[in-house]
Structure 1
Amino acid sequence: MTTTELAHPALEPFGLDTLQLRNRFAVAPMTRVSATPDGTPTEQMAAYYREYAMGGFGLIITEGIYPDAVHSQGYFNQPGLVTEQHVAGWRAVVDAVHASGTPIVAQLMHAGALSQGNAKGFETIGPSAIQPRGQMMVDYGGVGGAWNAPREMTAHDIDDVIAGFVAAAENARVAGFDGVEIHGANGYLLDQFLTDYTNQRTDEYGGPVENRVRLTARVLHAIRDSLGDFPVGVRLSQTKVNDFTYRWPGGEADARTIFAALTDATYLHIASEGRDFLETAKLPSGATITELAREVSGRPVIANGGMHDLGQAAGVLTGGHADVLSLGTGALANPDLPRRVETGAALSAFDHEMLHPMATLDCAAAWRERAGK
């Protein structure tokens, strides 16, 4: 049997705490900048997420959702979970997904210094007043050019950020979501605290890695305190949208400290290290970073990066590197990917043109029309 036949291990059901997944294929969070200007999800977004549910995915994780109405928004037309209108819009999305029996988790994201579009127009904030590396992302509505240096956050700012995450998680439960995922990856605010060169603080949040992971842990514990057994995952990465080469400076020792601080999470979601996951995610010891996350945290782990390669995907699961696989571009190209794997049908290749000139749902629909999809 080949890995495209029914024997593929990703087709096995899995219990992610209280979430019962029909299989181990998850839709990864992907920014689509297609909400209304005030951050309310649309009918088009409900149809977008419903397509993945109907396509057989075992779990859907939303795009990053901003959790407060001050500094957290990263992109114009990014959805929020702040107002009653936001909650009502997301309830329609959740209902559309639940109609196919698929659980859906809301990813909560504070952009911090990487905000390139905030409808409120407020200044950016970060752990330290250090200009982010790289350039704003045009695909997500950025004007190009460098980001501004953020204002260094005060203790009061930190408390406000935590309160925003908690309020948004509470709103997610009201909207009917099956859980939330804290976005601690890819260069956004929580990852800015975790990263040594963007965090030059001298207080309890700066210095050694056990201090730099403290804010992520505090957000996790605060949501836990508010919502009890409601599933709460945490997404982590070494690389960032504005720095693809960064690695935790302490290597495996840093990884162990980070994972040990987050054992209250329902799961850990380790974001892409590269398409050849089993090589690029490998530590000097020979273990993969996801394998280490499973060992240290004792929690289920979702692996992300090149999982549309079905041979690699099978190896990640059977080799004990992860429990669930999340797909980004593979899911965009194949919203029915699990159904295709079940039947042995060929997978479509991802065409980056579907995200140009912007990564919106309108641009994807225009691409499909041109391509006759």
Structure 2
Amino acid sequence: MTLTFPVLQEKTIKTSTFSNRYVLAPMSRASAGADGVPTENMAEYYAGFARGGYGLIITEGAFTDEKWAQCYSGQPGLVNDAQEMGWQRVVQAIKAEAGKVILQLIHAGAVSQHIMEPVAPSPVRPAGSMLHGYGHRQGAYDVPDELSLAQIEIIKRGFYQAALRAEAAGFDGVEIHCANGYLLDQFLTAETNLRQDQYGGTLENRIRLTQEIIREAQGATKSDFIVGVRLSQAKANIQDYFWPNGLADAKVIFQAVADAGADFIHLASEKEGYAVHSYTEAGENLTTYARDLTGLPVVANGGLHVVVDANELIASRKADFVSIGKTAMLNPDLPKRVAEGRELQEFTFDMFKYGVTIEAQQQWEGEQAALGPT
């Protein structure tokens, strides 16, 4: 018996129609080669989500230049021919399962755990500590160097060229990462952007770089190529952060990315999930506001693997898609399970017992299989 739910209905972004509203959220797996080339294991990993029925797959973030962008060891890039060919193999594996896939493009900025001399909008040490398990560097973040206007142009060119490479590799689109405390979010955030030029000061100036990147990616690629944007209030290193002016900030940010030509908005939530960080501190719902203000498709995120919650969001038009993160790792067939009324495997942090890579997960899964049912 196949069930029918709002979350299982088709939906279109631009000219692409997706078989359901389930999106694989981008998750850093640090499983590429030391040269940043995606591996055959990554191709099979992502193909598994297409086989499992996800309407759209958004891959982990690929770094966009060789000098400053890389976040951590084992991160894939998209800055040379070898990396492009590696991603092409990933795309081909997904397309062989009738899947659709978007590549996330990311620049670490000040929160790099790989670059020895990181760069950022301003020389402000990031709050918190480096993420455990990612890269060889741990402890407090470094004070970054302030980017010059010439260096900002290099960063913009990196995103532009990566979008072109993503299109050449066969991706259905790209997602520009302006969220979670990474470089474009550092520009967006007043505490980490002390600049006095066209990229600093007002919120309209602080979102400018993201706007320019969206416009250039749209201008460089074909008309049916999707260019979306990921936004968030909370950050990986500041999980209780909210936009200081609530809905007033949201209005500027959402309108700015829409005016730049974004094809969708993906609002990410950190540890506390959708119920907390897709709302302002005053309690206004941000995914609904983004849809109403811009008319763009909106992807909601944060603990939405519970089918009742996902259906409520779609049915009430608070969002158009739901992206699934940690729970997806143990349920690559989640959409099929939902359609067939089967229970999901509950997420456990124990799966990171051997590390955060795909290979570490496979080692843990093999161990669990050997132990048998509990």
Which TM-score applies when normalising by structure 2?
Answer: 0.95
Q: What pairs up with 1:198-347 in 2 under 5 angstroms?
A: 198-229=192-223, 230-263=225-258, 264-273=261-270, 275=272, 277-278=274-275, 280-283=277-280, 287-347=284-344
Cα distance in 1, alignment partners of residues 4 and 69 from structure 2: 43
Listed one character per residue, the Cα deviations across residues 199-231 of structure 1 (whole Å, up to 9, x for unaligned) are 111111111111111111111011112114221
Q: SS at 2:179's partner residue? A: coil
Amino acid at match of 1:236: L
Q: SS at 2:176's partner residue? A: strand
Give the Å deviation of 1:370.
1.2
Amino acid at match of 2:21: R
Cα distance in 1, alignment partners of residues 356 and 76 from structure 2: 14
Cα distance in 2, alignment partners of residues 361 and 276 from structure 1: 24
Listed one character per residue, the Cα deviations across residues 81-126 of structure 1 (whole Å, up to 9, x for unaligned) are 11110011111100000011111000000000011014xx5x2000
- Say if 2:41 is the partner of 1:47: no
Amino acid at match of 2:137: V
Listed one character per residue, the Cα deviations across residues 5-36 of structure 1 (whole Å, up to 9, x for unaligned) are 71321110111112211110010000000000
Cα distance in 1, alignment partners of residues 366 and 360 from structure 2: 10
Q: 173, 176, 194: which one pairs with 1:179? A: 173
Kept in 2, the 8 Å contact 1:139–1:357? The answer is: no
Kept in 2, the 8 Å contact 1:274–1:306? The answer is: no
Kept in 2, the 8 Å contact 1:236–1:269? The answer is: yes
Cα distance in 1, alignment partners of residues 308 and 273 from structure 2: 11
| Aligned residues with identical type, % of pairs | 44
2:81 aligned residue: 84
Cα distance in 1, alignment partners of residues 279 and 232 from structure 2: 13
1:60 aligned residue: 57
Kept in 2, the 8 Å contact 1:139–1:356? The answer is: no
Which TM-score applies when normalising by structure 1?
Answer: 0.95
- Say if 2:21 is the partner of 1:24: yes
Cα distance in 1, alignment partners of residues 240 and 282 from structure 2: 20
1:169 aligned residue: 163
Cα distance in 1, alignment partners of residues 276 and 181 from structure 2: 22
Listed one character per residue, the Cα deviations across residues 52-102 of structure 1 (whole Å, up to 9, x for unaligned) are 000010000000100111100011110001111001111110000001111
Change (3 A) 1:315 1:274: farther
RMSD, aligned CA: 1.6
Q: 17, 30, 33: which one pairs with 1:33? A: 30
Amino acid at match of 1:103: K
Amino acid at match of 1:36: G
2:97 aligned residue: 100
Change (3 A) 1:301 1:152: same
Q: Structure 2 unaligned runs (5+)?
A: none
Amino acid at match of 1:362: E
Range moving further from structure 2, 103-112 or 270-279: 270-279
Cα distance in 1, alignment partners of residues 354 and 193 from structure 2: 33
Range moving further from structure 2, 197-206 or 271-280: 271-280
Give the Å deviation of 1:362.
1.2
Cα distance in 2, alignment partners of residues 66 and 259 from structure 1: 24
Kept in 2, the 8 Å contact 1:278–1:288? The answer is: no
Range moving further from structure 2, 88-97 or 135-144: 135-144
Cα distance in 2, alignment partners of residues 145 and 327 from structure 1: 29
Q: Structure 1 unaligned runs (5+)?
A: none
Kept in 1, the 8 Å contact 2:242–2:280? The answer is: no
2:185 aligned residue: 191
Give the Å deviation of 1:316.
1.1
Give the Å deviation of 1:278.
3.8
Kept in 2, the 8 Å contact 1:357–1:363? The answer is: yes
Q: SS at 1:239's partner residue? A: strand
Q: Number of paired residues?
A: 367
Q: SS at 2:60's partner residue? A: strand
Kept in 1, the 8 Å contact 2:242–2:277? The answer is: no
Runs of 4+ in 1 over 6 A off after TM superposition: none
Listed one character per residue, the Cα deviations across residues 319-366 of structure 1 (whole Å, up to 9, x for unaligned) are 211101100012112000001001100001011122234210111001
- Say if 2:357 is the partner of 1:360: yes
